Chain A
Amino acid sequence: DSGVTQTPKHLITATGQRVTLRCSPRSGDLSVYWYQQSLDQGLQFLIQYYNGEERAKGNILERFSAQQFPDLHSELNLSSLELGDSALYFCASSVDAGGSYEQYFGPGTRLTVT
Chain B
Amino acid sequence: QVHLQESGPGLVKPSGTLSLTCTVSGASISSDNWWTWVRQSPGKGLEWIGEIFHSGRTNYNASLKSRVSMSVDKSESQFSLRLTSVTAADTAIYFCARVSVPGGELPPPIDYWGQGALVTVSS
Same complex for A and B? Answer no
- A residues touching B (Cβ–Cβ < 8 Å)? none
